Structure 1
Amino acid sequence: MRSQDDSEYLAGRVSEACARGEPLRIQGGGSKTCYSGSGEGGALSTLAHTGIVHYEPTELVLTARSGTPLAAIEAALAMSGQMLGFEPPHFGSGATWGGTVACGLSGPRRPWAGSVRDAVLGCRMVDGRGEVLRFGGEVMKNVAGFDVSRLMAGALGTLGLLLEISVKVLPRPECETTLCFECPSAEGRERMIRWGGSGLPVTGMAWDGRLYLRLAGPEQAVSAAARRVGGDRAVEADTFWNGLREQTREFFSGKGDLWRLSVPPAADIGGLSGEWLIDWGGAQRWLRTDAGRNEVLAAAQAVGGHARLFRSANPAAMRCAALAPALAALHRRVKAAFDPAGMLNRGLCPEAS
């Protein structure tokens, strides 16, 4: 894998842009623009800033530069029988390490193995003034107090340009199997809630017309759990979970806006028309709908959750709900501390959760 440290160049570009008052649009592989939007300003590419800086399998920690292809990182981990626990989506061959962390997206394993934010141990970054900052470290004992490095996960580059990110990694499970069940969505949610508190070695639960349960761990434990819950062994299980993670399943190519709703697993969201896919044991719901933005946001808020417009035919559509005044004030203070002039990825809407 090619390795090149472009830290000095990237910091210099940000410093120059800040002095001129010209906003910058941080750009990696562009694989997740459908989610983040394109932002404003001149493009600043991280693609030349590549390489795994540190990886010692016995320590379960990896540090890589932001322009490193996500596929290269996963390949290096696989050679040592390890993986990224948060199972990040690629959404294309150009996915980079920095974009993966900046977007903060996790796959089907997230409720059981943790999110991107949970995995981050430390980072080096360039703030909106062009200064290089370092937060956290490469071991868990360095992650204490107000962990600034984890703010970068899901911030969409609005707080700074990521140079290097250190994360904890996990061993690949010894055994994995997927079971499927014929049932309607309401029954599927009930089963997922029951299984979620049963002590089963679960690493994925989703409903897409059928209910899918993924079990992983020591072979004896997986076999015992499979006998306990029954169901049919899923054919082409990897295809299902990869299709869910990468949004290549037929559901995601349907008509209408694609919304992601984060809600309590037992929540019953009635009154919204469209097609549903349920992930994360019921806590993440995907909706394909022609319903209006306010209708979807209100339905999610009514059950104690929130919604985000994930993909739309209208690139100018507002993706997030307005933050509560106290939370909006906190966001402004954090933004002012890192990027007081609003130079970086102006116009993007980071996750509030």
Structure 2
Amino acid sequence: MTETTDSTLAGLAAQVADACEAGRALTIAGGGSKPFLGEAPPDTNAEKLDITAYRGVVSYDPGELVMTARAGTLLAEIEAALDTEGQRLAFEPPHYGETATLGGTIATGISGPGRPYTGAARDFVLGTKIINGRGEVLRFGGEVMKNVAGYDLSRLMAGAHGTLGVLAEISLKVLPAPRFSRTRVFEFDAATAIERFNAWGLRPWPITAAYWEDGRAYLRLSGAESSVSAAMETLGGETLADDALFWADVREHRRDFFTRGDAPLWRLSVAPATPTLDLHGETALDWGGAQRWLVSDESPESIRAAVAAHGGHASVYRDAAGEPIRPRQHPMPAALRQLSQRLKHSMDPAGILNPGRIDPEF
């Protein structure tokens, strides 16, 4: 197995090196479950770099809460291995399909409903092995939390969409699964939900998710049964039946809200206490109000201006039928774009790795 995987990695590195020398763009391909994230590739005829054959769990130490796996490993396979030990990926990554891989999950940097309370995907990345734009295999970080001197390049890979390097292996911190979990439901409008979510977040309660949609607020409590029960008694509300399915449907965008209508689905990122925005369309609140979903046919300029006025940003998560919106992602400030371009050039001097996936210019 080791000999086979070593030759697979060597083959991937050789393909990158050849493309670098020829100045040929590469599209990094995994399970294909998240093509709607990031910008659309400008070159649809770019050569494909398929990482799915480089798969498998390299090591897993339940006692140390650390797993290392290759980028092509199915996310479902990783979660199944963790489940046998009563552990989990604390950032609850969405799959958006059965073919989701670990590499694509970390490359897109996506996290589920628990993100504000347990941490984002990048917070759990301990180390990575990557192939840079020259075809060199490099390792950053390791398998413990405090092992990084200088720049933490491993965590920069989370959300970089493969533009800084091809993820080959990822070491992750994992956590024990909650012993007890319940979700309470309340009848609130959006403004009241924002107020309550922020107030509840200041209390010493084991909150692990907070979501609002169509006049109903959902608050998940997870941990010791005694602490969950005490919080429920103070909170009131009603207990949601089958809350595991509910949160999976929120995470995977299987609820009707995410598929209704023909308008684009926007992801708005704002401070959690930001008041409701005066935008046409339907809204759902996630992450206690910090992540907001908007189904709206308002102009991109109007939506982004309204969000920017509160210090946030707005990105298209899924296009509507017809003319796609470009750019999908909120435009970078000039200083951040310049820094990103310099970093991109240092890791991928020929600009061949997923060009245009973060910004159309690089």
TM-score bucket (shorter structure): over 0.9
SS of the residue 1:59 aligns to: coil
Alignment of 1:61-210 (within 5 A): 61-209=66-214, 210=216
Query: What amino acid is aligned across from residue 253 of structure 1 in structure 2?
Result: T
Distance 2:277 2:325 in 1: 28
Q: Is the 8 A contact 1:259 1:307 kept in 2?
A: yes
Q: Is the 8 A contact 2:316 2:325 kept in 1?
A: no
Q: 1:36 aligns with which of 35, 38, 43?
A: 38
Q: Is the 8 A contact 1:4 1:51 kept in 2?
A: no
Distance 1:305 1:67 in 2: 33
Deviations 1:70-105 (A, max 9, x none): 000000000000000000000000000100000000
SS of the residue 1:320 aligns to: coil
1:317 Cα deviation (Å)? 2.3
- Please report the TM-score for the alignment, with normalisation by the length of structure 1: 0.96
Distance 2:225 2:170 in 1: 33
Q: 2:28 aligns with which of 26, 29, 33?
A: 26
Between Structure 1 and Structure 2, how many residues are aligned? Answer: 350
Deviations 1:27-86 (A, max 9, x none): 000000022355231111111001101101001011000000000000000000000000
Distance 1:315 1:84 in 2: 33
Q: Which runs of 4+ in 1 moved over 6 A?
A: none
Query: What amino acid is aligned across from residue 317 of structure 2 in structure 1?
Result: F
Q: Match of 2:248?
A: 242
Q: Is the 8 A contact 1:18 1:128 kept in 2?
A: yes
1:316 Cα deviation (Å)? 5.9
Q: Which moved more, 1:252-261 or 1:94-103?
A: 252-261
Deviations 1:115-164 (A, max 9, x none): 00101010000011101111000011213442110000000001010000
Distance 2:219 2:305 in 1: 30
Query: What amino acid is aligned across from residue 348 of structure 2 in structure 1?
Result: D
Query: What amino acid is aligned across from residue 340 of structure 1 in structure 2?
Result: P
SS of the residue 2:36 aligns to: helix
Deviations 1:297-320 (A, max 9, x none): 111110111111111034462112
SS of the residue 1:296 aligns to: helix
Distance 2:254 2:358 in 1: 24
Cα 1:289–1:16, aligned 2, differ >3 Å: closer, same or farther? same
Q: Percent identity?
A: 51
Q: 2:265 aligns with which of 251, 254, 258?
A: 258
Distance 2:213 2:14 in 1: 48
Distance 2:40 2:28 in 1: 9
Q: Match of 2:351?
A: 342
Q: Is the 8 A contact 2:33 2:99 kept in 1?
A: yes
SS of the residue 1:254 aligns to: coil
Distance 2:347 2:325 in 1: 26
Gaps of 5+ in 1: none
- RMSD, aligned CA: 1.5
Distance 1:47 1:258 in 2: 29
The reply on whether 1:281 has 2:288 as its aligned counterpart is yes
Distance 1:295 1:248 in 2: 27
Q: Which moved more, 1:322-331 or 1:242-251?
A: 322-331
The reply on whether 1:8 has 2:10 as its aligned counterpart is yes
Query: What amino acid is aligned across from residue 50 of structure 2 in structure 1?
Result: S
Distance 1:139 1:131 in 2: 24
Distance 2:146 2:178 in 1: 25
